[in-house]
């Protein structure tokens, strides 16, 4: 029996009690009847505080209500016993067969086990990473790349329609400086002031010269433009490849340049149209030779400039056009993943959403992440002053890096030990979890050689204490995924997998799937194979949600 099925049965019992006494059935919510795992397993398989939540509405006290509900709960098929504890807690113990049935449920569900529909109907645009295309991805981008991709995965697993988007900052002065840096390298000249240094610029310059042999013969401005645009194309392709190597997927790469490009018919840019829309809603005014948005009407600490007195549009103007683009493309919900230095950006972004006619509490969610540092990491030989993502992947591997980045809340500062990430011991959580999966596959192979199959399934035989604990952990997985999606916290899945691996290793040490010696082959061996395979499936599903592989052998 799954916790969802048990909660549904509780819901029926409680609503019947309400109806019988003239109460309002609609006043009971799924949260009121949710069951939880008790901290002390001696208190049963599941616990409910339903009596404490509803007693007042029913005109009684919690313990009396719990005692009244207990016989009906005990009559639920699959429930072995019910105990009322303390002020009105209801502790529920399942029959062994009902508890063990989850193993077959998981194996038959396969990759879909753990997925739900709690966020069905939510259409979300999630923007993350969005690094400038003027250099390689580095350690500062790794955390949001790993977390952003994992958040997208858990949201989809809960039914949401998610578009992962990378905003390419390919407009503005940094692109011209990039072009000047590449051209200087092509000419053999020193890096210009505030330009981009590093061997990667030399490499880009060589590629540009190979593609345009007469580059240095062109007028200066034309040569800068050619160097800028070709080097940008090459660098963006490298960024995309680095993300692929890191198992990070984007559905859309959105170019900032498109916001500045005039329409062929009207001559207006997306930024021009954004200003017109905000002006039509009464939020734009002119002062000090500049065009402003009155964002202070929506809680911002100061009004924001759209266009300066010299006619140059601001970054905020591009932000406004980009936000409206997301809205126009059919994304009622927008998630932004921003770095630790962007706290001041949250207020203006929410004010922008409100000025656009949206409710920021519904349409906008901003996650702020803290920085990460990695002991033992070396500066890039190509870039010189950064730690490149590609170098980290060569050193640590994508699995170790993604797992460790995913197992901590985004708002916690993170300092990692590179050698621990590389270690193949149980002190390394990613090794511990992946090894548990590899062990399930090894057990399955050994079972096949011994003639153990899943033809027999007798869940009532799964009565060993380690089996009870393991089955309980397996039942929790859908709830963990749902909470991770609701709170945008994929670290909950990583921590769950570590607990599950612990339960599995203890079960492996205490029981056997294959007969020992001359022991006859019985139904318990086949049933335990179901349980073994269920654990492997859940570990695979969980690791996939955080972008980590599940090896068959280690």
Q: Kindly report, residue by residue over 282-312, the tens digit of the pLDDT.
A: 999 999 999 999 999 999 999 999 999 998 9
pLDDT digits (tens, 9 = 90+) for 166-201: 999 999 899 999 999 999 999 999 999 999 999 999
Q: What is the b/e burial string over 75-85, where b = at least 16 CB atoms within 10 angstroms of the residue's CB?
A: ebebbeebebe
Q: Would the pLDDT of 418 be above 90?
A: yes
Decide if pLDDT at 341 tops 80: no
How far apart are the two ends of the chain, measured CA to CA in Å? 34
- What's the rounded mean pLDDT across residues 101-120? 97
Residue 216 has pLDDT above 90, yes or no: yes
Contact 113, 538 (CB under 8 A): yes
Q: Is 24 exposed, middle or buried (0-12, 13-18, 19+ CB in 10 A)?
A: exposed
Name the token pair of 200.
């990667």
Task: Show Cβ contacts of residue 439 under 8 Å, excluding neighbours closer than 6 positions.
Answer: 504, 505, 508
Q: Which fold has domain 3-94?
A: Gyrase A; domain 2 (3.30.1360)
Q: Across residues 440-446, what is the average pLDDT? A: 98
Whether the predicted pLDDT of 323 surpasses 90: yes
Give me the mean pLDDT over the 153-167 stretch.
Answer: 98
**pLDDT tens across 262-278, in order?**
999 999 999 999 999 99
Domain boundaries, the chain: 3-94, 136-166+249-368, 173-245, 424-545
CATH code given to domain 424-545: 1.10.730.10
Give me the pLDDT at residue 474, please: 96
91: which strand partners? 47, 83
Topology, domain 136-166+249-368: Rossmann fold (3.40.50)
Q: What is the pLDDT of residue 126?
A: 97
For range 105-121, the mean pLDDT:
97
């Amino acid at each position: 029996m799954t916790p969802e099925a048990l909660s549904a049965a509780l819901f029926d019992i409680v609503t019947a009690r309400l109806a019988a006494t003239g109460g309002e059935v609609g006043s009971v919510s799924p949260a009121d009847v949710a069951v939880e795992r008790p901290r002390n397993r001696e208190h049963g398989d599941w616990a409910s505080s339903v009596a404490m939540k509803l007693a007042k509405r029913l005109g009684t006290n919690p313990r009396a209500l719990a005692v009244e509900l207990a016989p009906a709960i005990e009559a639920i098929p699959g429930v072995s016993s019910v105990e009322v504890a303390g002020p009105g807690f209801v502790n529920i113990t399942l029959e062994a067969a009902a508890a063990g049935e989850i193993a077959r449920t998981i194996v038959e569900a396969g990759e879909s086990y753990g997925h739900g529909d709690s966020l069905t109907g939510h259409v979300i645009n999630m923007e993350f990473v969005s690094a400038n295309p003027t250099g390689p991805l580095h350690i500062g981008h790794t955390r949001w790349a790993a977390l952003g991709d994992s958040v997208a995965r858990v949201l989809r697993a809960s039914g949401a329609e998610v578009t992962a988007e990378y905003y390419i900052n390919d407009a503005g002065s940094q692109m011209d400086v990039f072009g000047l840096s590449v051209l200087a390298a092509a000419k053999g000249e020193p890096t210009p002031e505030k330009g981009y240094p590093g061997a990667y610029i030399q490499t880009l310059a060589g590629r540009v010269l190979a593609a345009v042999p007469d580059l240095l013969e062109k007028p200066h401005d034309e040569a800068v433009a050619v160097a800028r645009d070709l080097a940008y194309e090459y660098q963006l392709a490298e960024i995309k490849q680095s993300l692929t190597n890191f198992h990070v997927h984007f559905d859309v790469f959105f170019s900032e340049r498109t916001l500045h490009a005039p329409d062929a018919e009207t001559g207006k840019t997306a930024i021009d149209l954004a200003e017109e829309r905000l002006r039509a809603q009464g939020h734009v005014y002119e002062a000090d030779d500049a065009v402003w948005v009155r964002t202070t009407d929506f809680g911002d600490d100061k009004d924001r400039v759209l266009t300066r007195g010299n006619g140059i549009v601001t970054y905020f103007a591009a932000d406004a056009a980009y936000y409206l683009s997301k809205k126009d493309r059919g994304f009622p919900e927008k998630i932004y993943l921003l770095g630790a230095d962007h706290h001041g950006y949250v207020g203006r972004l929410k004010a922008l959403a409100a000025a656009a006619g949206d409710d920021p509490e519904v349409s906008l969610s901003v996650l702020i992440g803290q920085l990460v540092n990695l002991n033992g990491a070396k500066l890039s030989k190509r870039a010189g002053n950064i730690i490149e993502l590609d170098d980290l992947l060569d050193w640590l591997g994508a699995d170790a890096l993604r797992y460790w980045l995913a197992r901590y809340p985004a708002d916690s500062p993170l300092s990692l030990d590179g050698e621990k990430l590389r270690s193949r011991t149980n002190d390394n959580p990613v090794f511990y979890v992946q090894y548990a999966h590899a062990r399930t596959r090894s057990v399955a192979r050994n079972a096949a050689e011994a003639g153990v199959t899943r033809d027999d399934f007798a869940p009532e035989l799964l009565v060993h204490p380690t089996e009870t604990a393991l089955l309980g952990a397996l039942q929790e997985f859908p709830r963990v995924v749902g909470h991770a999606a609701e709170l945008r916290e994929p670290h909950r899945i990583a921590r769950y997998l570590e607990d599950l691996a612990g339960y599995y290793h203890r079960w492996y040490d205490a029981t056997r799937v294959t007969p020992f010696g001359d022991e006859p082959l019985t139904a318990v061996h086949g049933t335990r194979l179901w349980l073994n395979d269920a654990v492997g499936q859940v570990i695979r599903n969980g690791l996939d949600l955080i972008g980590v592989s599940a090896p068959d052998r280690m």
